[in-house]
Amino acid sequence: MGYDIVAVDWVKHVERKRALFISLAFTDVESKDLLFTAAGIRLQHNLYTYKHGVCAQYRSAKELARLQAHFLALVRKNDPRLAEWKELCVKHNKRADELVVQFQNAQVPGTDFAKYYQEFLNILFYGVTLPFLVLSAIDSAVQQGDDAKKYKTVLALFEPTRGVAKYPALETTMLAHFWKLAAQVCNIKDYLALAVLTPPELQDVFAGKKFDAQEIQRRENGCVLWRDPDTQAIVFNYDSALLARFEQTTTPQGLAIKGTIAFAGTAQGRVCIVNTIADMARFKDGDIVVSINTNPSLMPVLQKCAAIVTDEGGIMCHSAVVSRELKKPCVIGTTIATKTFKDGDIIEVDARKGTVRKVS
């Protein structure tokens, strides 16, 4: 029997405006045994929806709870591996900096994509995934009533990593290099279009297989995809009804939306939707940043904004940590802020009550 995705207790885990390739790379750090080797846990269920550059990841609710419980157990006993992970985070982030310089200077021998992709996975895993899992576990415990002070040693190790992520720079240098080479093979003008290929498909291009623009456009227009736990193959489905089953589009009309207070305060200002580095070009000093969830590459606007509002996140997420450092009013986990407000709206952020409402 095949894999029955309908039978899985899916819950939306994260949503990002980023290349599909990047999301699948994050999944690879689990499926290629990095997670099991480091932390002794395996994950089976991973599904994505992708449409016009927005990628949402869904996990099994039971499996996600098991993952958080596993990492919380490691945190509560201050497992020695935690300190080792922090050292490896520093090591692989340093390697990422070296790779950025190498590819910026075009010092790249041949098209050995597989070798560099493995390095990319290590950077994602130790620099982003492990810190995220550790802090998410603490976040879950604190929301259930634990005192955050119990975890101060672990927080001191991993909170600084929430302000550092190397993969955006690698995307615009190392990955762009390989996408450009693949675009030449496929005779496609816009090399960024190939960011919807899976990592194995990109490898196949360098082995002589071509992908046409029509298939790429189908993915951009909307698809559901998942990794088959048995075969490990990525399966694409273009059924609009299946895509609609996962998409959430309901937004309140004229009402305040609610979220979690990350840093208390109030602010009123113009909305600027910022999910990517390119979005920052529209930002003006004093705008309120509304984002699916912020990341370190958006720090230039976060330092100048009046407040931060996100769809996702817990009290240890990047937005929350940064808002406390910068003392910016911040409401996280609203679920629908980016679907409710648009650029130019004037909104009021009340991060004493955890509400955001449109003023005009």
User: How many Cα atoms within 13 Å fall on the side-chain side of residue 263?
Assistant: 21
Regions in the chain scoring below 70 on pLDDT: 1, 109-110, 163, 248-255, 315, 360
Q: The CATH number of the domain where 324 resides is what?
A: 3.50.30.10
Query: At a CB cut-off of 8 Å and minimum separation 6, what does 63 contact?
Result: 43, 44, 45
Query: Backbone phi, then psi, for 223, in 5-degree steps?
Result: -160, 165
Whether residue 310 lies inside any domain: the answer is yes
- Assigned domain for 252 exists: no
Number of domains observed in the structure of the chain: 2
- Distance between CA atoms of residues 21 and 196, nearest Å: 6
Looking at the fold, whether 229 and 289 belong to one and the same domain comes out as no
Query: Is 20 a member of any domain?
Result: yes
What is the SS3 string spanning the chain? CCCCHHHCCEEEEEEEECCHHHHHHHHHHHHCCHHHHHHCCCCCCEEEEEECCEEEEEEEHHHHHHHHHHHHHHHHCCCHHHHHHHHHHHHHHHHHHHHHHHHHCCCCCCCCHHHHHHHHHHHHHHHHHHHHHHHHHHHHHHHCCCCHHHHHHHHHHHHHHHHCCCHHHHHHHHHHHHHHHHHHHHCCCCHHHHHHCCHHHHHHHCCCCCCCHHHHHHHHHCEEEEECCCCCCEEEECCHHHHHHHCCCCCCCCCCEECEEEECCEEEEEEEECCCCHHHHHCCCCCEEEECCCCHHHHHHHCCCCEEEECCCCCCCHHHHHHHHHCCCEEECCCCHHHHCCCCCEEEEECCCCEEEECC
- Interaxial angle between packed helices 113-124 and 20-31, expressed in degrees from 0 to 180 and rounded to the nearest 10: 80
- The domain in which residue 331 lies consists of 257-358
pLDDT score of 136: 83
Claim to verify: residue 234 and residue 325 sit in the same structural domain: no
Indicate the residue among 245, 273, 304 that finishes a domain: 245
Contact yes or no for 297/315 (Cβ under 8 A)? no
Tens of pLDDT, residue by residue over 99-112, are 999 999 887 766 78
- Cα–Cα separations (whole angstroms), residue 48 to 33, 91, 181: 20, 30, 27
Q: Which residue matches tokens 């550790």? A: 134
Q: So what's the pLDDT on residue 251?
A: 47
Could you tell me if residue 106 is inside a domain? Answer: yes
Q: Is 24 part of any domain?
A: yes
Residues 28 and 49 in one domain: yes
Q: What pLDDT score was predicted for residue 162?
A: 72
**Dist CA 10 CA 64 (whole Å):** 10
In angstroms, rounded to a whole number, what is the distance separating the alpha carbons of residues 87 and 126? 9
Distance CA 355, CA 268 (A): 12
Residue 249: the pLDDT is: 46
Q: What is the pLDDT of residue 88?
A: 95
Asked if residue 302 belongs to a domain, the reply is yes
Statement to judge: residues 73 and 124 lie in one domain? yes
250 located within any domain: no
Q: Is residue 251 part of a domain?
A: no
Q: Which residues pair with 51 in a beta bridge?
A: 54
pLDDT of res. 250? 44
Q: Are residues 341 and 229 in the same domain?
A: no
Judgement on whether residues 131 and 223 belong to the same structural domain of the protein: yes
319 and 42 Cβ atoms separated by less than 8 Å: no
Query: 55 and 161 share a domain?
Result: yes
Residues 227 and 309 in one domain: no
* Residue 265 and residue 143 in one domain: no
Q: Are residues 49 and 161 in the same domain?
A: yes
Residue where a domain stops, chosen among 217, 245, 273: 245
On whether the CB atoms of residues 125 and 34 are closer than 8 A, the answer is yes
Contact 354, 331 (CB under 8 A): yes
Asked whether residue 181 falls in the same domain as residue 302, the answer is no
* 224 and 117 both lie in a single domain: yes
Last residue of a domain, one of 245, 271, 299: 245
